Amino acid sequence: MHISILLVSLLGMGFIAAVFGFVVLNSGPRDEDFGGIAKRGYFIRLWWFIGLCAAGVLVSVWSLIPFPLQASSAESPRIIQAVGRQWSWELASNSVETGEPVRFRVTSQDVNHGFAIYGPDDKIVAQTQAMPGYFNDLDVTFEHAGKYRVLCLEYCGVAHHAMVAEIAVTEKH
Ligand code: CUA
């Protein structure tokens, strides 16, 4: 191999190495290149943070609003105690007006009964369990006047069928 070829090769490799070195030395980040972007980045980060805080507060407040089912009605219902026993119903009141919100507070003195209200057309209006030791609330607002009946919906002994009470619903005046 000629010495001149070796020299040319070394010179060429040296030149390429020098170019690489120059690029490497001059490719580091310089503040003046990123100053604007960094400023914009901090600006976006700040407003993203404020936005998340605001969203968190809004969601928290929104979660405190009660669902419609939990919201109590504007008019508080009239409470009527209803007690079942073998084999009759005892209602604290047997007369109600149409449009009047009523809450039957249903319990039993002995065994489980089924407290069911039937309309004048013999269709069931509402029902709940009458259980000893428990009070079950049954909310009813009667829309039509007439003679309603309370029947027992759970077999409770020989005279189960005799558990009948009447509710007279009159037109609101
Ligand atoms: Cu009470 Cu059936």
Q: What CATH number is associated with residue 127? A: 2.60.40.420
Q: Whose CA is nearest to atom 1 of ligand 1?
A: 113
Atom nearest to 161 CA in ligand 1: 2
Is the distance from the beta carbon of residue 152 to the nearest atom of ligand 1 less than 6 Å?
Answer: yes
Ligand 1 midpoint to CA 88 (Å): 8
Q: Which domain holds residue 9?
A: 2-64
Does 44 reside within a domain? yes
Is 141 among the domain residues? yes
Q: Are residues 102 and 152 in the same domain?
A: yes
pTM score? 0.58
115 C-alpha to ligand 1 centroid (Å): 8
154 ligand 1 Cβ < 6 A: yes
6 domain-assigned? yes
Domain count, the chain: 2
On the 0-12 / 13-18 / 19+ scale of CB atoms within 10 A, 130 is buried
CA–centroid distance, 73 to ligand 1, in Å, is 32
What burial class does residue 172 get, using C-beta atoms within 10 Å of its C-beta: 0-12 exposed, 13-18 middle, 19+ buried?
exposed
Same domain, 86 and 53: no
CB of 113 shorter than 6 A to ligand 1: yes
The answer on 152 and 91 residing in a single domain is yes
- 33 with 88, same domain: the answer is no
pLDDT tens column, 13-60: 999 899 988 888 887 666 667 778 888 889 999 999 999 999 999 999
Q: Decide the pairing of beta strands 113-118 and 124-130.
A: antiparallel
Shared-domain flag, residues 110 and 50? no
Residue 155, ligand 1, Cβ within 6 A: yes
Specify the pLDDT at position 73. Answer: 57
Question: C-alpha angle 29/34/40, rounded to 5°?
Answer: 155
Residue 73 lies in a domain: no
> What pLDDT is stored for residue 9 in this prediction?
85
Task: Kindly give the parts of the chain with pLDDT less than 50.
Answer: 70-71
59 and 9 in a common domain: yes
